[in-house]
């Protein structure tokens, strides 16, 4: 079980220092910040879009927007970037109008199957990923931040501008919905 795999690799102080330098156009700081953010944003987006290419494009766009507006950023930094990412994902779906009907590509899962991983487990993961996409935006955000990114409930509350109780409620409803989707598929 990999419950603590996704951790922040920059502490708050380091992040603040990088932000200060990035705000005055320090290219080195911007480079470090982008490298650090890219993976986080990519994972956040990957589980909500259909293809690796889309995830990469959107992640690049988020990084771009972050750097463009970093001088005007106030409040929680991660909340800000995940809000930008969420907005971009929504725009992406609005443009394509394909959100609910298209089957997720599951590039990563298929890639792992090719590499000889346990097929049943990976197929379950593929189904789980498909079910994840049927959740509401809010539920998807919480699930990805909590179980993929590995953030604590309080941290997610801060990022999404909600109370911890609200995040716990969303988490509970998201897990229940995922479970129900699973059961439904098994019955089918």
Partner 1 sequence: MEQDIELLLDNCINEMRNGKSIDECLAKYSQSATGGAGQLRPLLQLVQQLEILPKPEPAPEAISGTLINIGHHIAQRSMTSEKLTAVEKLQKKSSIFNIIRRPKIAWAFSAAFLFLVVLFSAATISANSVPGDILYPLKLATEKVKFLLTFNSEKKAELRLTFSDKRLQEMIAVFQQSGKLDTTLLKEMLDEAKLALEETKIPSDTASVFVTKLSHVNAYQKDVLEKIRPQVNLSSRKIVDEAINMCDMRGRWMRRMMNEENEISPDSSAPDSTGSPQQMPRSKQKSNRWQWGPGCDWMK
Residue ranges that bind partner 1, judged by CB under 8 A: 1-6, 25, 27, 30-31, 34-35, 38-39, 42-43, 46-47, 52, 55-56, 59-60, 63-64, 67-68, 108-109, 112, 124-125, 128-129, 143, 146-148, 152-153, 165, 168-169, 171-172, 175-176, 178-179, 182
Q: How far is the CB of 46 from partner 1 (least distance, A)?
A: 5
CA dist., res. 69 & res. 63, Å (int)? 10
To 10 degrees, what angle do helices 12-23 and 27-46 make? 120
Q: How far is the CB of 79 from partner 1 (least distance, A)?
A: 20
**Pick 31 or 161: Cβ nearer partner 1:** 31
CB 159 within 8 A of CB 109: no
CA distances to 9, 18, 22, 69, 78 from 12, in Å: 10, 10, 15, 20, 11
**Pick 78 or 144: Cβ nearer partner 1:** 144
**Pick 94 or 128: Cβ nearer partner 1:** 128
**Pick 71 or 90: Cβ nearer partner 1:** 71
CA dist., res. 82 & res. 31, Å (int)? 19
Q: Read off the tokens for 140.
A: 């998807």
**Pick 13 or 117: Cβ nearer partner 1:** 117
Q: How far is the CB of 18 from partner 1 (least distance, A)?
A: 14
CA dist., res. 39 & res. 58, Å (int)? 12
CA dist., res. 37 & res. 27, Å (int)? 15
Q: How far is the CB of 42 from partner 1 (least distance, A)?
A: 4
């Amino acid at each position: 079980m990999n419950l603590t795999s996704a951790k922040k690799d920059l502490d708050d102080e380091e992040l603040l220092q990088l932000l200060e330098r990035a705000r005055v156009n320090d290219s080195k700081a911007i480079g470090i910040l982008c490298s650090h953010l890219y993976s986080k944003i990519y994972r956040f987006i990957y589980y909500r879009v259909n293809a690796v290419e889309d995830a990469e494009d959107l992640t690049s766009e988020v990084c771009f927007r972050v750097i463009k507006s970093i001088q005007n950023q106030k409040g929680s930094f991660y909340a800000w970037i995940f809000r930008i990412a969420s907005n971009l994902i929504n725009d992406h779906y609005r443009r394509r109008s394909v959100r609910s009907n298209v089957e997720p590509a599951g590039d990563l899962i298929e890639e792992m199957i090719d590499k000889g991983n346990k097929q049943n487990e990976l197929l379950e993961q593929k189904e789980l990923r498909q079910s994840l996409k049927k959740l509401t935006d809010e539920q998807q955000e919480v699930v990805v931040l909590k179980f993929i990114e590995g953030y604590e409930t309080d941290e997610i509350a801060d990022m999404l501008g909600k109370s911890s109780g609200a995040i716990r409620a969303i988490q509970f409803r998201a897990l229940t919905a995922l479970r129900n989707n699973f059961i439904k598929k098994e019955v089918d």
